[in-house]
Amino acid sequence: MASRFLILCALPLFFVLAASIQEKVFDVRNYGAYGDGKRYNGLAFTKAWNDACQWSSGRSTVYIAPGVFYLRQVTFTGPCKNAITFMVKGTLLAPPNPNFINQDEWILFQYVDSLTVTGGGLLDGQGSFSWPLNDCNKNSNCRALAMNIGFAFVTHSRIDGLRSINSKMGHFNLYGVNDFNITGVTITAPGNSPNTDGIKIGRSSNMHIHDVTIGTGDDCIAILDGTTNLDISHVRCGPGHGISVGSLGRYKDEKNVQGLTVRDSVFIGTTDGLRIKTWAKSISEISVSNFLYENIQMINVGNPIIIDQQYCPNGQCDSSGKYASHVQIKNVKYNQIWGTSTSKEALNMQCSRAFPCQDVELSNINLKYVGRDGLVTALCQNVGGSIRGKIVPGNCQI
């Protein structure tokens, strides 16, 4: 009887404690935000974030309801007291004029731990006004325009179900993140929109990108220096420039790239498929190592498999061929890559003569040329490694 009494007395205390650690919702409308697509909402969003970030009694959620919320630029800074969710149900609308954004990302999260960005909402960068101003294809010192959303020094976090369209430059920018997952996102921009990379990653580690659809005017996923332990799977890529590592080697303080897996994905109508590019005129001696590309379908892809260590855009190298990349590529495996190529050279590996590629393994490759004669070829230079199983095109000597 006494023990039963103690249990009954303890129950109210349990519910009190449970209630005290409940998730609290911070609705931006309660801070003066309007979802009319016209009025500026930056101050309301910042106030809602600051209160949610400092909530110490449990998880907090910043809630953006259905509607169109106009934002010029906004930065959400941690650290926060507890795990925090940024729930986007509506549309966040950027200014069409790029001069209204004076930071690298239109929306930036920085120094946050245990962040979740979710809700199925839309980021609209309204980039069409800015694209004609972009001359990066001929000007190496071109003006940088804002990316849609950035994450800097964010850990143990994830993006789930977000949509991003028409960025001024890139869409998602991740720098210095660790233990970060991206799932269920859709990223869209016209195929002729310049430099609208889908997901750009640098100096980051232990990331997973899964079940994403990306079609833009540049790389679906761009992997820059210092990235380690990155797992990519179930990507639908196209239009765009494929999944690219690099360019690497241009700057002297760059870091190694290692531990990349790309698997179970499809490329549709992209200019490139699986690409590694390093500057011919490189000044840093770094390595690219421990890569696995597996179970990839190519549908009318320009260059399904390409290693380009002669990369030197905008005429920055002369035609003498005297430059040789100092980036070492090693232990890269291609397994079960199949489909169609719109170029005859479906397999193109031009490695550095100063630092030849090492331990490149090709296995079960079947790529066909969609041209009239159907003759598919390979170009392989300065490549060391091995071949296993059937390889088409089969004239790559490594």
Q: Could you read off the pLDDT of 122-155 as tens digits, one per residue?
A: 999 999 999 998 888 777 778 889 999 999 999 9
| pLDDT-based confidence at residue 115 (cuts at 50, 70, 90) | very high
CA-to-CA separations, 282 to 78, 89, 349, in angstroms, rounded: 37, 45, 18
Residues 6+ apart with CB under 8 A from 217: 189, 190, 191, 192, 193, 194, 195, 196, 239, 240
Q: Where are the alpha helices (DSSP H) in the chain?
A: 2-20, 42-53
- The stretch 368-397 carries a mean pLDDT of 94
Q: Is the pLDDT of residue 377 over 90?
A: yes
Answer yes or no: are the C-beta atoms of 109 and 140 closer than 8 Å.
no
Burial of 354 (0-12, 13-18, 19+ CB in 10 A): middle
SS3 8: helix
Answer yes or no: are the C-beta atoms of 367 and 341 closer than 8 Å.
yes
The residue among 86, 82, 55, 224 whose CA lies nearest residue 149 is 86
Which has the minimum average pLDDT: 5-19, 86-100, 282-296, 317-331?
5-19
Residue 397 has a pLDDT of 84
Rounded-to-integer distance, Cα 245 and Cα 228, Å: 12
Q: Is the pLDDT of residue 314 over 80?
A: no
Q: Which residues pair with 13 in a beta bridge?
A: none
The residue among 208, 125, 117, 187 whose CA lies nearest residue 159 is 117
Query: Phi then psi for 388, rounded to 5 degrees?
Result: -130, 140
| pLDDT-based confidence at residue 225 (cuts at 50, 70, 90) | very high
CA-to-CA separations, 200 to 11, 150, 245, in angstroms, rounded: 50, 9, 10
| pLDDT-based confidence at residue 271 (cuts at 50, 70, 90) | very high
Residue 144 has a pLDDT of 87
C-alpha angle with apex 171: 199 to 291, nearest 5 degrees?
A: 10
Find tokens 């490549």 and name the residue. Answer: 383
pLDDT in tens, 315-367: 777 766 678 999 999 999 999 999 999 999 999 999 999 999 999 999 999 99
Residue 141 has a pLDDT of 78
Q: Is the pLDDT of residue 24 over 90?
A: yes
241 is catalytic: yes
Rounded-to-integer distance, Cα 384 and Cα 380, Å: 10
Q: Which residues pair with 229 in a beta bridge?
A: none
DSSP 129: G
Average model confidence (pLDDT) for the chain?
93
For strand 257-268 and strand 228-237, is the pairing parallel, antiparallel, or unpaired?
parallel
Answer yes or no: are the C-beta atoms of 379 and 347 closer than 8 Å.
yes
Residue 319 has a pLDDT of 65
Query: Phi then psi for 47, rounded to 5 degrees?
Result: -65, -45
Q: Is the pLDDT of residue 84 over 50?
A: yes
Number of C-beta neighbours around residue 252 at 10 A: 10
Query: Which candidate in 171, 210, 234, 241 is catalytic?
Result: 241
Burial of 306 (0-12, 13-18, 19+ CB in 10 A): buried
Rounded-to-integer distance, Cα 272 and Cα 302, Å: 5
